[in-house]
Amino acid sequence: MYLNIHTHHIEADEAIFQVQNLVIDSAIPVEVWEKQLVNSLPNQYFSAGLHPWYLKETQLEADLALLKRILTHPKVLFLGECGLDRICQTDWTFQINVFKTQIQIAEALQKPTVIHCVRAFSEIIQIKKLLRPKFPWLIHGFNNNEQILKQLIQHQLYVSLGAALLQDKSNASRLITSIPIKQLFLETDDKNCTISSIFVAASNLLEVDIEYLQEKIYANFKQIVEHQGSQ
């Protein structure tokens, strides 16, 4: 079966394991969030986090309180997407502080984290060294150069590739064979494509059967969500 580790649009197919991303916003009542969790498909799971694009200082406290509440629901498997974005308007220091705060929450609630990162890979790695999280980190939508990829792999981050695999000359397509299969995930993010099309592209590039890739990626998913915390 297909596993989509990061999506903003659910596909109406109960055979697909999908992790839908929720961008936490306390301006929306808690009942609305809880209804969405309760009404989800059997194989539909969630990640929930404060996205760097939408951070608001005035509602940070309420957003963090809502985030903690949503994360206690059993279908919410990941904190995220959260992270750092060098080219968005949000104040840089504020982004770093909110990211670190969310990592502390992830650690306290024993959740892996899905990370949004734009031109801030060295900061992400620095923060990982500083905080030494016990629960896994995953970079979503990776499409950067080989040097960055090597650092992510070396620092034990999981790497998720998406629609960039549909273009043969993208970094993601060129570098997929350099990612250990134990650290690989696939996603559709907010793109208008199916997770099966991403698996087809990845299996062609890796020269492996779809079934093999499905098994490996599902095993990674089990590994990451059942992680007991490392030292």
Stretch that binds Zn ion, among 63-71, 128-136, 181-189, 213-221 (CB under 5 A): 181-189
Nearer to Zn ion, 194 or 204 (CB): 194
Stretch that binds Zn ion, among 65-73, 126-134, 186-194, 223-231 (CB under 5 A): 186-194
Contact between 189 and Zn ion (CB under 5 A)?
yes
CB 143 within 8 A of CB 171: yes
Nearer to Zn ion, 137 or 212 (CB): 137
Residue least distant from Zn ion (Cβ): 189
Nearer to Zn ion, 21 or 150 (CB): 21
Contact between 187 and Zn ion (CB under 5 A)?
no
CB of 149 to Zn ion, least distance (A): 19
Nearer to Zn ion, 85 or 204 (CB): 85
**Three state DSSP letters for the chain:** CCEEEEECCCCCCCCCEEEEEEECCCCCCHHHHHHHHHCCCCCEEEEEECCHHHCCHHHHHHHHHHHHHHHCCCCEEEEEEEEEECCCCCCHHHHHHHHHHHHHHHHHCCCCEEEEEECCHHHHHHHHHHHCCCCCEEECCCCCCHHHHHHHHHCCCEEEECHHHHCCCCHHHHHHHHCCHHHEEECCECCCCCHHHHHHHHHHHHCCCHHHHHHHHHHHHHHHHCCCCCC
Stretch that binds Zn ion, among 62-70, 120-128, 171-179, 185-193 (CB under 5 A): 185-193
Nearer to Zn ion, 63 or 189 (CB): 189
* Burial of 201 per CB tally in 10 Å (0-12, 13-18, 19+): buried
Structure tokens at 113: 């984290």
CB of 163 to Zn ion, least distance (A): 11
CB of 97 to Zn ion, least distance (A): 21
CB of 36 to Zn ion, least distance (A): 17
Look at residue 192 and give its three-state secondary structure.
coil
CB of 212 to Zn ion, least distance (A): 27
CB of 127 to Zn ion, least distance (A): 20
Interaction with Zn ion in 96-135: which residues (CB under 5 A)?
none
Nearer to Zn ion, 193 or 206 (CB): 193
**Residues contributing to the site for Zn ion (CB under 5 A):** 189
